[in-house]
Chain A
Amino acid sequence: MLNAAEIDALFLSLKIASVAVILALPLAIVVAFILARGRFAGKILLDGLVHMPLVLPPVVLGYLLLISLGTRAPLGAWLYDTLGLRLVFHWSGAALAAAIVSFPFQVRAIRLALEVSGRGLEQAAATLGAGPLDRFLTITLPLAAPGIIAGVMMAFAVSLGEFGAIITFVSNIPGETRTLPLAIYTAIQSPGGEAMAARLAGLSIGLAFVALILAEIATRRISHGRRS
């Protein structure tokens, strides 16, 4: 049903989205915790910074990545020389771009769950002898688990669909950075590619739908937990 190039694009998309979400998750948990519980002067700035990718044109984000992490940019050159890490024109660069774009979606869902679970149970755990890290791992995180799952699924769906930042930063290389949206774009641009574009579009719709349903189920478990 799908040809080799289409299957390549599908698996590449799944790989890039998975890596993007898993890489961003620990930082998203930390930032969500700071935003949900912290009281400090620069909180509104941090909040704004986290949400930037939601409102910034993705192509601008791709451009920023290119001028900072390109092999001729200082940071990019350093990464390449010392770690042998080249992000430009490489699938890992696509994963980084997707991670940044989907980051606010993770943070928002996890923050909501942390705000719901509240401090009362953590105080109770403290009076039972649990220190700060212990409380975080045994009380805060497990209670926020539905929010974390919801955030991960949302971010995964968003990462699958990222186009502008990826094509700007890592270009459109078949088998390396040509994810589903880029493959659809390429098919539309080529003569006789309509059928391929339609199949890939259908596939994207299906994937996004499944991810959203899973996110919704997880979110309902949060509100269920709040009732009981």
Chain B
Amino acid sequence: MTLDIRIHHLLGTFELDVAFKAPAIGVTALFGPSGAGKSSVIACIAGLIHPRDGHVRLSDETVLDRSKGLCLPPHKRRIGVLFQDGRLFPHMTVKDNLLYGWKRTGKRADRHEIARLIALLGLEDFMTRRTHDLSGGEQQRVALGRALLADVRLLLLDEPLTGLDDARRQEILPWLERVRDEGGPPFIYVSHRVEDVARLADHVVVMNKGRIEIAGSAADVLPRLDLMPVTGVAEAVLEATVQSCDEKDGLVELAIGKDRLFAAIPNRKQGETVRMRIGADDVTLSLSRPDDISANSILAVQISAIKPDGAHILISLECEGQILLARITDRSRHRLSLVEGMHLYAIIKTIKLVH
């Protein structure tokens, strides 16, 4: 089960030339700076732009193959799009919007399925309302429900959180996660925000200037030092397992291999896997394991790469197959004589949990 996509297209003088495969399950993030061509790729997959060359295959079904002259129109592709601006139909109620695609599916989803989805997205109270009475986040939730009820095989999300403030983003992000976790269709999620990608994505495709820089799992791709100019954030994404929760101080014990991290996060079950972001500036390095400092979270690591980053040095650290980043001064590097392959200890001051 894979998505197999290759697009070659010219937009004025801008050349779009991308090819990637992604698992047809979970969330694939299409990540990169503004103007990288991400939205054009989405439009090609949905059939709203016809590229000069390329193909789009969903598992075993092909919806576009220029070499064979095959190009299904958008209404025959069963590929949904959650647009940046929602695009709810202003002359219909929320209910009519939700059922617009469903009525055109041959009604594959039954009434129970509709009720389940409406409850899943918390839309019960909106049904008879007009779309322009809803907030931006609520409109996106309705648009999400509308696309899912159209029984799509793939959902494309074109920066659906852009233009929403942080509070509104929090109104929609948890719903996206619910849909993903409740057996929704695979997502291709376009974003230029590393926080959203780290929170949602299982697989990441990094785009820049109409081309693909790298594609792979989120934990592999996001901490890559050579991608810093594209991702713009010196931050690592790590996964850890919940060991225990301490009721007294509210700290959760997380395990990466033999090492332990502690974070104040609510409602976690033992054995659950959590994903977290650790900023390069929140990591201190030590040659010996310190036991007389205030920080609780210490990882044994090995230096895998050293790279200048402006006035500082970015160090890539391997830890049980995962990558951690640390930003230090050149003076520190010389004082500690840091070289690739060295074993040392990373002291982590701040852990940002992503889900």
Of the listed stretches A97-105, A121-129, A204-212, chain B binds A121-129
Partner of A128, one of B48, B73, B90, B150: B150
Query: Which residues in chain B, 123-175, are within 8 Å of chain A measured between CB atoms?
Result: 132, 146-147, 150
A-B residue pairs in contact (CB < 8 Å), sample of 12: A123-B48, A125-B89, A125-B100, A126-B75, A127-B75, A128-B80, A128-B104, A128-B147, A130-B104, A131-B75, A134-B104, A139-B89
The reply to whether the CB of B105 lies closer than 8 angstroms to some CB of chain A is yes
**Who on chain B is nearest to A120 by CB?**
B87
Residues of A in contact, count (CB < 8 Å): 18
Contacts of A225 in B (CB 8 A): 90
Can you name 10 extra interface pairs (CB under 8 A) apart from A121-B90, A127-B48, A128-B101? Answer: A126-B73, A126-B75, A127-B80, A127-B147, A129-B76, A134-B75, A134-B104, A143-B90, A225-B90, A228-B90
Partner of B79, one of A121, A125, A127: A127
The reply to whether the CB of B5 lies closer than 8 angstroms to some CB of chain A is no
Contact A124 B104 (CB under 8 A): no
Counting contact residues on chain B (CB < 8 A from A), the size range is 20 to 34
Contact A121 B104 (CB under 8 A): no
Encode B46-57 as 1/0 by CB contact (under 8 A) with A: 111000000000
Contacts of B73 in A (CB 8 A): 126, 131
**Who on chain A is nearest to B87 by CB?**
A124
The reply to whether the CB of A74 lies closer than 8 angstroms to some CB of chain B is no
How far in angstroms is the closest Cβ of chain B from A228? Answer: 4
The reply to whether the CB of B91 lies closer than 8 angstroms to some CB of chain A is yes
The reply to whether the CB of A57 lies closer than 8 angstroms to some CB of chain B is no
Contacts of A129 in B (CB 8 A): 75-76, 78, 101, 104-105, 150
Contact A128 B146 (CB under 8 A): yes
In angstroms, Cα B85 to Cα A120, docked, is 9
Query: Which residues in chain A, 70-95, are within 8 Å of chain B measured between CB atoms?
Result: none
Q: Report the tally of A-B residue pairs with Cβ distances under 8 A.
A: 62
Seen from chain A, the residues whose Cβ lies within 8 Å of a Cβ on chain B are 120-121, 123-131, 134, 138-139, 142-143, 225, 228
In angstroms, Cα B48 to Cα A125, docked, is 11
Contacts of A128 in B (CB 8 A): 75, 80, 100-101, 104, 146-147, 150
**Who on chain A is nearest to B85 by CB?**
A120
Partner of A124, one of B76, B83, B105: B83
The reply to whether the CB of B81 lies closer than 8 angstroms to some CB of chain A is yes
The reply to whether the CB of B74 lies closer than 8 angstroms to some CB of chain A is yes
In angstroms, Cα B76 to Cα A131, docked, is 8
In angstroms, Cα B81 to Cα A124, docked, is 7
Contacts of A126 in B (CB 8 A): 47-48, 73-75
In angstroms, Cα B74 to Cα A225, docked, is 27
Q: Which of A127, A130, A134 has the most chain B CB atoms inside 10 A of its CB?
A: A127
Contacts of B76 in A (CB 8 A): 129
In angstroms, Cα B80 to Cα A125, docked, is 10
Contact B91 A127 (CB under 8 A): no
Contact B91 A143 (CB under 8 A): yes
Q: Which of A124, A139, A143 has the most chain B CB atoms inside 10 A of its CB?
A: A124
In angstroms, Cα B101 to Cα A219, docked, is 30
Contacts of B80 in A (CB 8 A): 127-128
Contacts of A125 in B (CB 8 A): 89, 100
Q: Which of A123, A128, A143, A228 has the most chain B CB atoms inside 10 A of its CB?
A: A128
Contacts of B100 in A (CB 8 A): 125, 128, 130, 138
In angstroms, Cα B176 to Cα A16, docked, is 58
Query: Which residues in chain B, 44-101, are within 8 Å of chain A measured between CB atoms?
Result: 46-48, 73-81, 83, 85, 87, 89-91, 100-101
Contact B87 A130 (CB under 8 A): no
How far in angstroms is the closest Cβ of chain A from B244? Answer: 46
In angstroms, Cα B76 to Cα A126, docked, is 8
* A121 touching B89 in the complex, CB below 8 Å, given contacts A128-B80, A129-B104: yes
How far in angstroms is the closest Cβ of chain B from A134? Answer: 7
Q: Which of B74, B77, B78, B85 has the most chain A CB atoms inside 10 A of its CB?
A: B74
In angstroms, Cα B74 to Cα A228, docked, is 27
How far in angstroms is the closest Cβ of chain A from B239? Answer: 34
Top 5 A-B residue pairs of the complex, sorted by shortest distance between their CB atoms: A128-B101, A129-B104, A124-B87, A126-B74, A228-B132
Contacts of B81 in A (CB 8 A): 123-124, 127
Contact A121 B75 (CB under 8 A): no
